[in-house]
Amino acid sequence: MSHPRPDLSVAIGPLRLRNPILLASGTCGYGRELADLVDIGALGGIVLKGISLKPRPGNPPPRIVETPSGLLNAIGLENVGIDTFIERKLPSLREIDTCIVSNILGESVEEYGELARILDMAGGVHAIEVNISCPNVKAGGFAFGTDPAAAAEVTLAVKESTCLPVIVKLSPNVTDITAIARAVEKAGADALSLVNTLFGMAIDIRRRRPALANVFGGLSGPAIRPVALRMVWQTVRAVGIPVIGIGGIRTAGDAIEFLMAGARAVQIGTISLVNPRASTEIISGIESFMREEGFSRITDMRIDR
C-alpha cells in the first residue's frame, strides 16, 4: 500500500531545506557548472567549491586517481579567491532557488574570520560551511580539524564574524571524531557536516612513483561510506546540533542509511562526477521509500539508540 505524500523538508539550525539532499563542496563547482544537467532548484541546497582569501592555483597534475570504488584527489583547494567569487560567481547564484552554502578555507584563524566577515557583508549565501581539514600554516602545518582546541578557535572566529548559520565540516583523519565535534559545538557551531576525504595514496607501479604529484590525496566515493556512516552515527550521539552526513553516497538507500543513523541531511559528492543526476534520483528514491514504509517526515526514519 502506498501512503500520502511525505514531507521531505528539514531544518538545519535556522536553515530550512526543501529536502535533505545537498551537493558536496568541490563536486559542483560554483553551482552554475551543473545547471544544464541537474535541476538545481529541486535540491535541498548546494555547497560551493572551497574559497580562500587569495586565489589558489592548486597542486600540479596528476591530481586525480581512480581507486576501487573510490577517487583519490589532490586538487589542492584550487579556487578563484573571495574577490573574484563575489564579483563573478555570486551574482548568478542569487537567481537559483535553493539554499546556497559557501565553503571556506584558511591558513590561519584570522583568515577564516575574515572570509566569514566578507561573505556576511556580500549577501547572497545562506550559510557558511567551514572546511577545517586545512593546514594551520602559522602553527606548523597540522590540520585545524585534527585538534579540538584549534577546531574550536576557528569556529569561534567564524561565529564572531557572521550572522549566517555556521556549519563546521569535520575531518575523518582523527582518532576520536566526537572529541572534535564536542569542541566545535561548544564554540558555537550551528551544525556539523562530516566527513571530508580520508588521507590516502596510490603508486604507479610501471613508473615506480606515487600516482599523484602531491604523493598524498583525499579518498572519496563508495569506498569510504562505511567509515563515514560510523562517524556520523557516533557524532549524532555525542552532540545536540544537527549533523549532515557525507561520504560515498551513491543511491537513495545509501542516503537513507545516513538519515537512519541520525543525519538531518546528506551531501552528494563523487557520484555526481559519474552520474550528474544522482542527486535528483536520490530525492525521488527517498520519497518512494518513505511512501512504501509509511514515514511522513525525514526525522521519523532515525534509529533511536
Ligand X SMILES: Cc1cc2nc3c(=O)[nH]c(=O)nc-3n(C[C@H](O)[C@H](O)[C@H](O)COP(=O)(O)O)c2cc1C
Catalytic sites, residue numbers: 134
Interacting residues with ligand X between 90 and 119 (CB under 6 A): 103
Stretch that binds ligand X, among 5-13, 147-155, 201-209, 240-248 (CB under 6 A): 240-248
Q: How far is the CB of 140 from ligand X (least distance, A)?
A: 22
Indicate the residue among 6 and 262 with the shorter CB distance to ligand X.
Answer: 262
Q: Per CB under 6 A, which of residues 114..133 are in contact with ligand X?
A: 131
Choice from 247, 258, 279, 283 touching ligand X (CB under 6 A): 247
- Site for ligand X (CB under 6 A): which residue of 15, 65, 167, 249? 249
State the minimum distance, in angstroms, from the CB of residue 1 to ligand X. Answer: 34
Interface residues for ligand X in 215-234 (CB under 6 A)?
A: 220-221, 224
According to CB under 6 A, which one of 77, 128, 211, 265 is a site residue for ligand X?
Answer: 77
Stretch that binds ligand X, among 110-118, 208-216, 262-270, 286-294 (CB under 6 A): 262-270
Per rule CB under 6 A, count of chain residues that contact ligand X? 25
Q: Which is nearer to ligand X, 51 or 157 (CB)?
A: 51
CA distance 130 to 133: 9
Distance from C-alpha of 277 to C-alpha of 193, rounded to nearest angstrom: 22
The cell for 130 is 567551514
Q: 271: which residues sit within 8 A by CB, 6+ positions away? A: 221, 222, 249, 250, 278
Q: Which is nearer to ligand X, 6 or 259 (CB)?
A: 259
Q: Which of 15, 246, 256, 290 binds ligand X (CB under 6 A)?
A: 246
Interface mask toward ligand X for 185-214; x: CB under 6 A: -----------xx-----------------
Min CB(186)–ligand X separation in Å: 22
Question: Distance between CA 139 and CA 65 in Å, rounded?
Answer: 30
CB of 173 to ligand X, least distance (A): 12
Q: Which residue is nearest to ligand X (CB)?
A: 26
Q: How far apart are CA 190 and CA 58, in angstroms?
A: 30
Please select the residue that binds ligand X; options are 17, 18, 22, 27, rule is CB under 6 A.
27
Q: Interacting stretch for ligand X, rule CB under 6 A, among 35-43, 73-81, 112-120, 139-147?
A: 73-81
Per-residue contact string for residues 142-171; x = within reach of ligand X by CB under 6 A: ---------------------------x--
Q: 71: which 3 cell numbers?
A: 577517487
What distances in angstroms separate CA 62 from CA 77, 207, 210, 212, 222, one per listed residue? Answer: 14, 13, 10, 5, 22
Q: Which residues bind ligand X (CB under 6 A)?
A: 24-27, 49-50, 71, 73, 75, 77, 103, 131, 169, 196-197, 220-221, 224, 246-249, 268-270
